[in-house]
Chain A
Amino acid sequence: MIDRLHPLTIFIYFLTVSMLPAFSRNPILHLLCLVTGFIMLFTWAQVKNILKKIPFFLLFFLIISLFNPFFYHNGDTVLFYVAGRRFSLEALLFGADSALMVTGVGLWFISLSHYMTSEKVLLLFGKLSAKASTIISLVMRIIPHYSRYIKSYRRHQRILGLYGDGSFLETVKAEGKIFAGFLTWSLEHSMTTADSMTARGYGVGKRKSFKINRFRKIDFIVCFLSLCLAVFLGIVLGMGYFYTDYYPTVKMPAMSTVPTISGAVYITISLLLTINHFIKANYGFSKDKQS
Chain B
Amino acid sequence: MDFLKINNLNFIYGTLNTSAKKTDGFALKDINLKIDEGDIVTLCGPTGCGKSTLLKLLKAEIAPAGDLSGEIIFCGKKLSELTAKEQSKDIALLFQNTEDQIVTDKVWHELAFGLENLGFSQADMENRIAEIIAFFRLESISKSDTGILSGGQKQLLLLATLLAMSPKLLLLDEPISALDPENAEMFISALKRLHDQTGITIIIAEHKIDYIAPISDRMVVMDGGRIICQDKPDEAIKEYRKLLPPIKREADYPKSSRGESRREAALTLKNVYYRYERNSGDVLENLEASFEKGKCHAIFGCNAAGKTTLFNLISGFYKPQEGKIIFSKKKAKIAYLPQNVELLFTAETVEQELANVGLKRSDYPNYVNRLNLLSSPYDLSGGEKQLLALAKISALNPDILLMDEPSKGMDTNLERILQSELKRFTENGICVVMSTHDLEFAYAVSDLCSILSMGKLTGFKNTEEFFETNKLYSLKRRP
The chain A residues found within 8 Å of chain B, CB to CB, are: 118-119, 122, 137-138, 140-141, 144-145, 148-149, 152-153, 155-157, 159-162, 177-178, 180-181, 184-185, 188-190, 192-193, 195-212
Contacts and interface: CB of A to CB of B under 8 A. Distances in A.
28 contacts: A141-B146, A144-B145, A152-B338, A156-B336, A157-B344, A157-B346, A159-B315, A160-B335, A162-B346, A162-B356, A184-B348, A185-B345, A193-B103, A195-B95, A196-B103, A197-B103, A199-B92, A200-B113, A200-B117, A204-B84, A204-B118, A205-B118, A207-B116, A207-B119, A208-B119, A208-B120, A208-B125, A210-B126
Interface stretch (B17-25, B104-112, B182-190, B466-474): B104-112
Contact of A118 (B100, B106, B162, B315): B106
Nearest to A201: B88
Contacts of B104: 137-138, 140-141
Given A184-B376, A210-B115, A201 B101 contact: no
B306 to A, nearest CB: 17
A211 to B, nearest CB: 6
Contacts of A137: 103-105, 109
Interface of B: 59, 61-62, 84-85, 88-89, 92-93, 95, 97, 99-106, 108-109, 112-122, 125-126, 129, 145-147, 161-162, 165, 315-317, 334-336, 338, 342-348, 356-357, 376, 378, 392, 396
Contacts of B392: 160
Contacts of A202: 113, 117
A42 to B, nearest CB: 25
B101 A192 contact: yes
B119 A195 contact: no
Given A155-B317, A192-B100, A196-B100, A118 B118 contact: no
B147 A210 contact: no
B408 to A, nearest CB: 16
A206 B119 contact: yes
Contact of A198 (B61, B92, B376, B378): B61
A121 B87 CA distance: 31
Contact of B346 (A118, A152, A178, A195): A178
A154 to B, nearest CB: 9
Contacts of B109: 119, 122, 137, 210
Nearest to A212: B108
A199 B335 contact: no
Contacts of B162: 200
Contact of A205 (B101, B117, B315): B117
A159 B336 contact: yes
Nearest to A162: B346
A210 B100 CA distance: 22
A148 B114 CA distance: 27
Nearest to A122: B109
A201 B105 contact: no
Contact of A160 (B116, B119, B344): B344
Contacts of B343: 149, 152-153, 156-157
Given A199-B93, A204-B84, A181 B106 contact: no
Contacts of B113: 197, 200, 202
Contacts of B348: 184
B79 to A, nearest CB: 14
A153 B317 CA distance: 12
Nearest to B106: A119
B147 to A, nearest CB: 4
